[in-house]
Amino acid sequence: MTLFQDAADKLVQREAPLATRMRPHNFDEFVGQEHIVGPGRALRKAIESDQLPSIILWGPPGSGKTTLAHVVASITRAHFISVSAVHAGVADLRHAVDEAQEQRRMYGKKTILFIDEIHRFNKSQQDAILPYVENGELTLIGATTENPSFEVNSPLLSRSRVFVLKALDDAHLETILKRALQDTERGLGKLNVEMDGAAWKHLLVMSNGDARTALNALEMAAFAAQPEADGKRRISLAVVEDAMQKRALLYDRAGDQHYDTISALHKSLRGSDPDASLYWLGRMLEAGEDPLYVARRLVRFASEDVGMADPQALVVAMAAQQAVHFIGLPEGALALAQVVVYLATAPKSNSLYTAYSQVQEDVNKTRNDPVPLHIRNPVTPLMKGLGYGKDYKYPHEFEGHFVEEDYLPPSLKGRRYYQPGDQGFEKEVAERIRRWWGERKQRSP
């Protein structure tokens, strides 16, 4: 039975994708992430001395999280269990706990439990292993592309150290790819592959720091390139383009990339940089972001950061939202691009945002006094008899259609919320207010 299983495992290994076959077995083969596993680094020392604590590996796809876990498996003396949160459940975790307890009882071994894509486990699933991580029966290695602060339970996170992996740079990818081309056992060395400079550059750029994407595209390109008379398979730019088809964009509509990118767009707009604003818009739309989500954020920006400096900004933003809703993508992308450029180049003011924030604070933290009688409508004789509308000054009866009057409750008399800036249309608004009200001083509630 063992022989049959061994033969089956070897067959699976031979038929596995190149990225799986080329997975490193030790730190000599591991490429990248020198900031956490370079010689002398604390994590590497802990792994090599078999004193690994529970850790969470957080990084983008193809950065080496699973690979690092397999390096741990190959050099540690601990029993190693690997599960994927994509299809594992609580029953699988309980089985892992039972296996760990048996290993400790029978052989005196500790157990390392590797959970790939741990962010896919819900709270109850993560809670299932918490007691065993806490008492040391399990050492956890969790791998995730999502921010552990939001995706890993706080008790489990507090018992683990988080290590952040970075996307591989082109030099790292090139080392990995060349090794795959030269390796005759696990790689493509027997195929006698050559790549021209343009093909190399395209493969590196389009892989976007993802080693798995790069290796699997290389394998497809190698088999697509037919052997020539001299036995060589020459991979051209056209072959790589055909193998890659579409770039693997680093973006997750529900994760950190989503929030980081919309933040980059918002700050580029606020900084009046139309080029950066267009770039981040493109990053979102080309990665499949919901265009109506982007439109909603642009509408918010029009009031929050442009406001009365250019009241037309809100009109333009709403028009773009309607255009996207009406025609969809890809045509609607131009409407969003138009409003992005408009907002980036518009004069800026956050006076409205500041004013309404102060209003919210006063409404929630001060007395909600009744509406002053003189600005209530005397709809019935009873209300008129109670003083509703008494001594109200009708502005249209006065010169310039303005008369000074108190409209706030007495407890907030003289309170100023809106203080216009000196940009764009708001400069004119400020002048009107000064003409009507003079230099009113701010009064605290």
What is the per-residue pLDDT across 186-242, written as a single tens digit (0 to 9) for each?
899 889 888 888 888 888 888 888 899 899 889 988 988 888 888 889 888 888 888
pLDDT at 316: 95
pLDDT at 318: 95
Asked whether the predicted pLDDT for residue 337 surpasses 90, the reply is yes
Is 306 or 441 the better-scoring residue by pLDDT?
A: 306
Instruction: Return d(Cα 333, Cα 351) in angstroms, integer.
Output: 30
What are the backbone dihedrals phi and psi of residue 252, each rounded to the nearest 5 degrees, phi first?
Answer: -135, 120
Q: What pLDDT score was predicted for residue 440?
A: 56
pLDDT of residue 113: 92
**Which pLDDT value is given to residue 33?**
92
Reported as a pLDDT band with limits 50, 70 and 90, residue 428 is: confident
pLDDT digits (tens, 9 = 90+) for 237-264: 888 888 887 655 555 555 567 788 889 9
The answer to whether 77 and 84 are in contact (CB under 8 A) is no
pLDDT score for 381? 86
Residues forming beta bridges with residue 55, ordered by sequence position: 141, 161
pTM higher than the cut 0.95: no
pLDDT in the model for residue 1: 42
Q: How far out from the chain centre does Cα 25 lie?
A: 31
pLDDT at 70 over 50: yes
Q: Which helix (H) or strand (E) holds 105?
A: helix 90-107
Structure confidence by residue, pLDDT tens digits, 141-158 = 999 988 888 888 888 988
For residues 360 and 319, the answer to whether their CB atoms sit within 8 Å is no
Helix (H), strand (E) at residue 46: helix 42-48
pLDDT at residue number 313:
94
Calculate Rg over the CA atoms of the chain.
Answer: 32
Q: What pLDDT does 143 receive?
A: 93
Residues of the chain with pLDDT > 70, as a percent, come to 93
Residue 443, pLDDT above cutoff 80: no
**Higher local confidence (pLDDT), 369 or 249:** 369
Return the percentage of the chain with pLDDT > 90, whole number. 29
Q: Could you tell me the domains of the chain?
A: 32-164 (3.40.50.300), 170-244 (1.10.8.60), 256-345 (1.20.272.10), 352-437 (1.10.3710.10)
Confidence (pLDDT) at 445: 45
pLDDT of residue 3: 46
How high is the pLDDT of residue 7?
46
